[in-house]
Structure 1
Amino acid sequence: MTPSPDLKIVETRVYRGANIWSYEKAIHLVVDLGSLEEHPTDKLPGFTDNLLQMLPGLREHSCSRGRRGGFVERLNEGTWLGHVAEHCALALQQVVGHDIRRGKTRQVKGEKGRYNVVFGYVDENVALAAAHLAVRLVNHLVQADPALDWDEELESFIKRAERTAFGPSTQAIVDEAVSRDIPWIRLNQHSLVQLGQGVHAKRIRATMTSATSAIAVDVASDKDLTTRLLGAAGLPVPKQESVRTVDQAVSAAKRIGFPVVVKPLDGNHGRGVCLDLRDEEDVREAFPIAEDQSRRGTVIVESFVTGKDYRCLIIDGRLAAVAERVPAHVVGDGTSTVQQLVDLTNADPRRGVGHEKVLTRIKVDKAAIELLESQGHTLDSVPAAGEMVKLTLTGNMSTGGISIDRTFEAHPENVEIAEEAARMVGLDIAGIDFICPDITEPVRETGGAICEVNAAPGFRMHTHPTIGDPQFIAKPVVDMLFPPGATSRIPIVAVTGTNGKTTTSRMISHIFKGLGRKVGMTSTDGVVIDERLLIRADASGPRSARMVLQNPRVDFAVFEVARGGILREGLGYERNDVAVVLNVQPDHLGLRGIDTIEQLADVKAVVVEAVPRDGHAVLNADDPLVREMRRKCSGQVVWFSMAEPGSEVRDMIDGHCRRGGKALVLNASDRGEMIVVKHGPREMQLAWTHLLPATFGGRARMNVQNTLAAAAAAFAAGAPLHDIRQGLRTFSTNYYLSPGRLNEVEVNGIHVIVDYCHNAPGMRALGDFVDRVGETLTSVHELGKAQRIGVIATAGDRRDEDMRELGEVAAEHFDVVVVREDANLRRRAAGETAGLVADGVRAAMARGARCRQVEIILDEIDAVRHAMARANPGDLVVLCVDTHPAVMTELESWSSWAQAGAGASDDAPAADPDYTPAAADGS
């Protein structure tokens, strides 16, 4: 069979944090090889040689061999083209300076010819572009594509990467932060970056920081004001005047005395600066050039100070580096023209456009030609060997100049002058420009002066000098923002599991709120910052987590982490100090390639893998799948369990504690169940379960388990026991503390429970609670028997068998089951999901289940009204809700009718298909 260029990307995911494939952020492609599945590289003549010619960097890849050239060996032996695409994507990123080497390719289980291709990245846009170009390249090598010009495509890719790359100054600071384990978030597509998290966060934009004074920046931008301030402090500055017209400039030049300099009042990067103007005509020609670069239209005329151009970098009041700036020039060789020398200089790989590389290409413009003429040259002239021909007068790197490191040569008096200048202007990071004959001699004696003070000075002349040693100037910047010993991270507690995540997250948040912490919490209900609901939505994914980490008020984070977010984008952060795994139950199977409960456990285990060595994983010892996650934890394991003493699980926990471990367990006595904290040989009593409001006197067993998990997480995070105890005693499942999670209200004598239960495992736990509560109810109706009415539903993206199972479980605990549907049908037809759930109820009824009647009412509010209309005082109604604000509004209306004297069964609001509650803004 002749190979065809069939490689294609069928699915793309960007993981922005720890994920199921990698501890770090990664790109995940699902690729289809098509006919190429039958053609590994050893069966494609010339493929390997052509590939290595186009991407020679592949010769350095070790692949699984662990040595240089390992990937080339794999190519010669024969490897599949999905694997080749992975390495090409890595090599393309390396071409643009992104040193990424992490990658793996694995076949999609059960799908021949499809592969998961996973590789790391620095910039996701660059990585995605690399992935698509890699696929095009592989297909081109299989069968030549006339439309693909490799050199042109590679250059286009490089230019795209340069557009989104950090500048050298920002990159230097970010690299230093990473080396210190300081987390960072890019806030836009330019140079605005957040270093640190929450309350500890600092921001930088290039070399301006969140501590940079706006007034100081304005002062530095006004060169006239800067000179006057420095002069008033006794610092050496040139004579200077501000003008707005050519005639004023000429007059000022005469008063100051020729030669003079004409430059914009508020320019930058040396643009519009004209030096060594020796007569009136020079001033008149220079004025419009300077005026064009002045934002306010004001031009500065100052005395021309002769000497070399030096940049002193001041960071946090101290000198960090000194560089001598040499204007763009070429040196004659006796045979080449000026133009040829410029081209040769620009061919240096270190030179690029603007700030994309450590040096900037020399631009030959009108000003350069005029400067050449003043030196007796044209572009076609052949300078003598060793002759220096200037192409600009200013030494700015942005105009093609070079730099020479002079950090350890500056005279102490000059250092003191530069530091004082930065203090006078008020800049935390400042570039002080000296013009003087020699920086090693005091400028007051040699006649030098400060010609400019710059805010946001560039770092590349110091980090990448053309001559001399590089200076690590990012270190003092990060030291200024995060002094040694300062904290850059906030504690993060991540909570995952099939059921109980939201309640447990709320419990943990409540405990730390009692400690005075400003808690940022994400859950399926929204984003909460310091008890204020900022966004009402399903916020259990990575984007919401990043939103919390960016909030400057937050000093403690609690994240509910759902399966969907992990599969879609990863965690969205690097690591969590405490990972809580409550349980793993068969829910959401059949979605995104997760078909078994073991695969689902691997997804949940991502939060455990994100625990650092000094962190903790709080694991449910009663769940076998959760117990296995201990092997994936780099930190300490804290167990929680409801097992009885003497059981196999408790024996395992006792052995763990004998080795110095931690655990929370239940100890039963005649007085009730006591939550006990075990740490090594010590046992500390925490609280009676029946005295905690969230447990409903110990009857809500799922909340007993959630309480154990929350207390264990708080203990692992360093909360004192008495504060944990107080938090648990004051946390209840009322609507204000835990909306939509086991809220108990009484409406006209009817006991109503509002919960979120949407799956069979959750219904078993809720059913156990219903049975325990139901035993205590006494009907006041003439029939004398309290009935249990349940309104249930599930999401449309569950499997059919899961929907039927939900109905079967509900039928065991309710006398009447009303089946409704969520507003979001998730690609199901209206009535389809409810029909499957009702089928499960009927099947259980046929086997003798408790339920005696099942009804289908699709609209949520209509279903609630119907259930309430059927109920009598003393009955129990359980509402499994989707939009709890709308349901609670509806229940309040029933209470209002009762308070007004209306009978609940006769005059209560009727089911109206067009009814839309005012508070139904969803979650």
Structure 2
Amino acid sequence: MTERPTPDLSILETRVYRGANVWSYDRAIHLVVDLGVLEKFPTNTVPGFTETLLQMLPGLREHSCSRGRRGGFVERLHEGTWLGHVAEHCALALQQVVGHDVRRGKTRMVKGRPGVYNVVYGYIDEQVGLAAGRLAVRLVNHLVEADPEFDWDTSLEEFIRRAQRTAFGPSTQAILDEAVSRDIPWIRLNQYSLVQLGQGVHAKRIRATMTSATSAIAVDIASDKDLTTTLLGAAGLPVPKQESVRTVEQCVRAAQRIGYPVVVKPLDGNHGRGVCLDLQDEAEVREAYEVARAESRRGVLIVESLITGKDYRCLIIDGKVAAIAERVPASVTGDGTSSVEQLVDDANADPRRGVGHEKVLTRIKVDAAAVELVREQGFEMSDVPPAGTMVKLALTGNMSTGGISIDRTFEAHPENVEIAEEAARMVGLDIAGIDFICPDITEPVRETGGAICEVNAAPGFRMHTHPTIGEPQFIAKPVVDMLFPPGAQSRIPIVAVTGTNGKTTTSRMISHIFKGMGRKVGMTSTDGVVIDERLLIRSDASGPRSARMVLQNPRVDFAVFEVARGGILREGLGYERNDVAVVLNVQPDHLGLRGIDTVEQLADVKAVLVEAVPRDGHAVLNADDPLVRDMRRRCSGQVVWISMEEPGSEVRDMIDAHCRRGGKALVLNSSERGEMIVVKHGPREMQLAWTHLLPATFNGRARMNVQNVLAAAAAAFAAGAPLHDIRQGLRTFSTNYYLSPGRLNEVEVNGVNVIVDYCHNAPGMRALGDFVDRVGDSMAGSHELARPSRIGVIATAGDRRDQDMRELGEIAAQHFDVVIVREDAQLRGRERGDVSALVTEGVRSAMAEGSRCKQVEVVLDEIEAVRHAMSRANRGDLVVICVDKHGEVMTELENWSPHAQAGSGVSADAPAADPDYVPSEA
């Protein structure tokens, strides 16, 4: 029996990248999809698939795909392409239907998993992008085999409505488009219209057309129409006569005092709701009172004299008129054959009209007030007005009630412009909408009898950016000019640090250098988020969410991000670009997780930081690591090399050639006096510091910290720090617990030398072991009677591969006399005892081959392992504790009595042994 296609396309996994990632330079959605049996059926083998798809999504005809020309994707469909690729293009086309201009996408097979594909495509709104992916998959399955429960038109309409609910309004979108055109970054702060423009100390906020500079008092004044009219009148500006009332009787009496015709409206209304115009007698006033009262939040109404004329909106931005629009109330014009109701339906069928502010025009709403207004003009909704007769359906010209706008920006009389600008200044609004009623805006209102009837805070931009008649005005430009004047900065410098080992220490060094320069540094690391030396969050904060937290903080003027592999794979970088990227090393760690199985794939992940460097940025790369060295090809900016190799080596020859071309590098030059860090920039060489004089290097013995110093100095140099500030920062940075908790902290407990470090993988243990050997050798020379013992407390995370855990044990056995194996509190999918068994297996394997270690013990609990190690140590011994919870470990060390028994190394009040302690066979 011949196999036939069945709707098997399914989504296995969904990821949202909110910044640069391994797939794209910009944010993207990543779907892992399984084609099932459809892997055997490309599009040209499914009858009618392509034709029906193009009918449903005609926008696909514009897709170029890999052909690079219009219609390229249609060619691929006819030739035969796989349905995961089709889902990618459908997701893009669906977003384009709702006005999102996204074109980036790619589909690649998951290595080693036939029929499973990575589908990656761009997005503007996260929720819309995810919904587009889900609907695309459902559509593809429906075209393979019709689903009776799937209605395309209904599903598409629901998708469009969802997109409209989450989309920015026309005003906000106009400002964002202008900001993007100026390379000003933005962050959406909620699901509505609250947006941050800029980063850190340069950040400004907008909500629709209100800005962080908008005065709350001015908004309150504009919301109080009575107070607004009083202030404007006191300034000599033309305003109508008015009174505020609370009861219907007060309303009637006020109308009599002012003189008919009058207007009744809510004191705190907006969008023209509850406004009743041209009231001619007491009966109409009483009726209008109920209408206006229903729209008032505080129960206070305004009665004012009726000013006749056309309705104009003057938009004032930063004290200057930016645009003027004539607002025409919702109306229809008779054609001699259609009823009023039919004419309204025809008007609402205009694709430019939508619900609320979702489109450039709002649908005309036929309510009781509209029906009554039509009746007052001598028609019923079912009547056919004569051709050319205009029938009003609203008295006010608000766009939100279905009105249209005509641009009059360059027609207004200069005196009217001056009056509008003065009104905005009197109220105190940075962005204001001044409503004029006058016969003609081209004539002075003081002569024609016009007046200002209202001042609006947060005025809508739609009538100016998308006028029904006339040229659109680019009013977002003066708004952005006001928030970010020419030459003003919107970004803060970002230094991002990655690598298998050394990220946290290097990030802390860079932060310390710039902190000494007076900068307000925001730093993220595996220990938490630090803002200007204050720890705000204590957790692993090396991911994109923590980075966004720093960029939102208004105190930060310099950012240092530790970027881990997991965050890049999970969500991308979380920001657009980094001015300086630092890559320390790429070594086998975390392999076998999230599709990263080789060290070369891990290097591709780390290289995302290098790809996020702009043309005027820098990438600090470790030339001694071949995988890092290869990343230079991915950098759009300048490369700054660091190296610990000796002059004359192949790496140093490459660096010298790089500097002869004007490049930058930091290297070590050895002499009889020690190692000197040298800054090379073109033909110049500048001495920075002796390594043995920098506290973090332990007299040059901590080679991993020598490398970290080189990287930190290179990053600071690339970011513009003067050499004397870099030198001072490095000289004052030490690995004490207060500056670098959990990273090579040295303490003395009862004569025992204790090193506390976060070492947790085999490459890190190799570097730590080298340090232990150097320190241990120096200690051995100071003890004549006996060689000091080296005791190591080691562990690793449960999500490492079995061979990585064994390798950790093998390396530790080369450097310690006694190895105590513990486990982390979080086992990461392992059973208790599994990790320690594998590490112990590695130690014993090395012991069998004659390693330094003579005894291995298992104490699963971290604190109990520390207690056991300290109880074994004698004065002069070296204890190295690889920690998980460094704070708890340091507290435990502080609790040990300073009056330990001489020679025994056991505290007089040492705790009892751990019940999980398992002595090993020597």
Shorter-chain TM-score range = over 0.9
2:272 paired residue among 270, 282, 285: 270
- What SS class does the counterpart of residue 775 from structure 1 fall into? helix
Q: Contact (CA 8 Å) 1:640, 1:665: kept in 2 or not?
A: yes
2:695 aligned residue: 693
CA positional deviation for 1:914? 11
1:563 aligned residue: 565
CA positional deviation for 1:902? 12
2:135 aligned residue: 133
Pair 911,253 (structure 1): closer, same or farther in 2 beyond 3 Å: farther
Measure, in 2, the Cα distance between the counterparts of 1:103 and 1:631: 23
The Cα RMSD (Å) is 1.4
Partner AA of 2:438 in structure 1: C
Measure, in 1, the Cα distance between the counterparts of 2:733 and 2:419: 61
CA positional deviation for 1:239? 0.1
Q: Contact (CA 8 Å) 2:873, 2:905: kept in 1 or not?
A: no
- CA offsets 1:654-704 (integer angstroms, 9 cap, x no match): 000000000000000010000000000000000000000000000000000
Residues 213-612 of structure 1 mapped to structure 2, 5 A cutoff: 213-612=215-614
Partner AA of 1:757 in structure 2: C
Q: Contact (CA 8 Å) 1:369, 1:379: kept in 2 or not?
A: yes
- What SS class does the counterpart of residue 296 from structure 2 fall into? coil
2:920 aligned residue: none
1:198 aligned residue: 200
Q: Contact (CA 8 Å) 1:61, 1:69: kept in 2 or not?
A: yes
- What SS class does the counterpart of residue 140 from structure 2 fall into? helix
1:836 paired residue among 804, 819, 838: 838
Q: Contact (CA 8 Å) 1:515, 1:723: kept in 2 or not?
A: yes
CA positional deviation for 1:882? 0.4
Residues 818-837 of structure 1 mapped to structure 2, 5 A cutoff: 818-837=820-839
Q: Contact (CA 8 Å) 2:861, 2:914: kept in 1 or not?
A: no
CA positional deviation for 1:372? 0.7
Measure, in 2, the Cα distance between the counterparts of 1:372 and 1:18: 57
2:789 aligned residue: 787
Unaligned runs of 5+ in 1: 916-923
1:920 aligned residue: none
Q: Contact (CA 8 Å) 2:896, 2:909: kept in 1 or not?
A: no
CA positional deviation for 1:429? 0.1
- What SS class does the counterpart of residue 263 from structure 1 fall into? strand
Measure, in 1, the Cα distance between the counterparts of 2:735 and 2:838: 31
- CA offsets 1:511-552 (integer angstroms, 9 cap, x no match): 000000000000000000001000000000000000000000
- What SS class does the counterpart of residue 722 from structure 1 fall into? helix
CA positional deviation for 1:911? 3.9
Measure, in 2, the Cα distance between the counterparts of 1:515 and 1:895: 41
Partner AA of 2:447 in structure 1: E
Measure, in 2, the Cα distance between the counterparts of 1:895 and 1:714: 43
Pair 392,790 (structure 1): closer, same or farther in 2 beyond 3 Å: same
Q: Contact (CA 8 Å) 1:333, 1:383: kept in 2 or not?
A: yes
Measure, in 1, the Cα distance between the counterparts of 2:239 and 2:646: 83
Question: Does the alignment pair 1:150 with 2:152?
Answer: yes
Pair 901,480 (structure 1): closer, same or farther in 2 beyond 3 Å: farther
Pair 896,386 (structure 1): closer, same or farther in 2 beyond 3 Å: farther
Q: Contact (CA 8 Å) 1:659, 1:680: kept in 2 or not?
A: yes
- What SS class does the counterpart of residue 779 from structure 2 fall into? coil
Pair 869,902 (structure 1): closer, same or farther in 2 beyond 3 Å: closer
Residues 796-807 of structure 1 mapped to structure 2, 5 A cutoff: 796-807=798-809
Q: Contact (CA 8 Å) 2:660, 2:683: kept in 1 or not?
A: yes
Instruction: Give the share of equivalent positions with the same residue, in percent.
Output: 85
- What SS class does the counterpart of residue 776 from structure 1 fall into? helix
- CA offsets 1:11-40 (integer angstroms, 9 cap, x no match): 110000000000000000110000000000
Give the TM-score normalised by the residue count of structure 2.
0.98
CA positional deviation for 1:910? 2.7
- What SS class does the counterpart of residue 778 from structure 2 fall into? coil
Q: Contact (CA 8 Å) 1:260, 1:277: kept in 2 or not?
A: yes
Partner AA of 2:280 in structure 1: R
Q: Contact (CA 8 Å) 2:665, 2:679: kept in 1 or not?
A: yes
Residues 10-21 of structure 1 mapped to structure 2, 5 A cutoff: 10-21=12-23
Partner AA of 2:892 in structure 1: E
Measure, in 2, the Cα distance between the counterparts of 1:353 and 1:897: 79
Partner AA of 2:894 in structure 1: E
Q: Contact (CA 8 Å) 2:750, 2:898: kept in 1 or not?
A: no
CA positional deviation for 1:406? 0.2
Measure, in 1, the Cα distance between the counterparts of 2:38 and 2:516: 61
Q: Contact (CA 8 Å) 2:872, 2:905: kept in 1 or not?
A: no
- CA offsets 1:160-197 (integer angstroms, 9 cap, x no match): 00000000000000110001000000000000000000
Question: Does the alignment pair 1:643 with 2:626?
Answer: no
Q: Contact (CA 8 Å) 1:781, 1:873: kept in 2 or not?
A: no
Q: Contact (CA 8 Å) 1:368, 1:392: kept in 2 or not?
A: yes
CA positional deviation for 1:777? 1.5
Measure, in 1, the Cα distance between the counterparts of 2:898 and 2:472: 76
Measure, in 1, the Cα distance between the counterparts of 2:916 and 2:668: 50
Structure 1 residue ranges, 4+ long, deviating more than 6 angstroms after superposition: 779-783, 899-903
Measure, in 1, the Cα distance between the counterparts of 2:840 and 2:521: 42
- What SS class does the counterpart of residue 8 from structure 2 fall into? coil
Query: How many corresponding residue pairs?
Result: 915
Measure, in 2, the Cα distance between the counterparts of 1:711 and 1:588: 28
Give the TM-score normalised by the residue count of structure 1.
0.98
- What SS class does the counterpart of residue 29 from structure 1 fall into? strand
Q: Contact (CA 8 Å) 1:897, 1:908: kept in 2 or not?
A: no
- What SS class does the counterpart of residue 676 from structure 2 fall into? strand
Measure, in 1, the Cα distance between the counterparts of 2:782 and 2:623: 43
1:810 paired residue among 806, 809, 812: 812
Measure, in 2, the Cα distance between the counterparts of 1:867 and 1:213: 63
- CA offsets 1:296-322 (integer angstroms, 9 cap, x no match): 100000000000000000000000000
Pair 374,896 (structure 1): closer, same or farther in 2 beyond 3 Å: farther
CA positional deviation for 1:767? 0.3
- CA offsets 1:173-229 (integer angstroms, 9 cap, x no match): 011000100000000000000000000000000000000000000000000000000
- CA offsets 1:429-464 (integer angstroms, 9 cap, x no match): 000000000000000000000000000000000000
2:623 paired residue among 621, 624, 631: 621
CA positional deviation for 1:906? 4.1
Q: Contact (CA 8 Å) 2:578, 2:612: kept in 1 or not?
A: yes
1:54 aligned residue: 56
Pair 74,775 (structure 1): closer, same or farther in 2 beyond 3 Å: same
CA positional deviation for 1:110? 1.1
Measure, in 2, the Cα distance between the counterparts of 1:901 and 1:275: 99
Q: Contact (CA 8 Å) 2:860, 2:916: kept in 1 or not?
A: no
1:7 paired residue among 6, 9, 12: 9
Question: Does the alignment pair 1:866 with 2:868?
Answer: yes
Measure, in 2, the Cα distance between the counterparts of 1:477 and 1:335: 47
Residues 9-48 of structure 1 mapped to structure 2, 5 A cutoff: 9-48=11-50
Question: Does the alignment pair 1:659 with 2:661?
Answer: yes
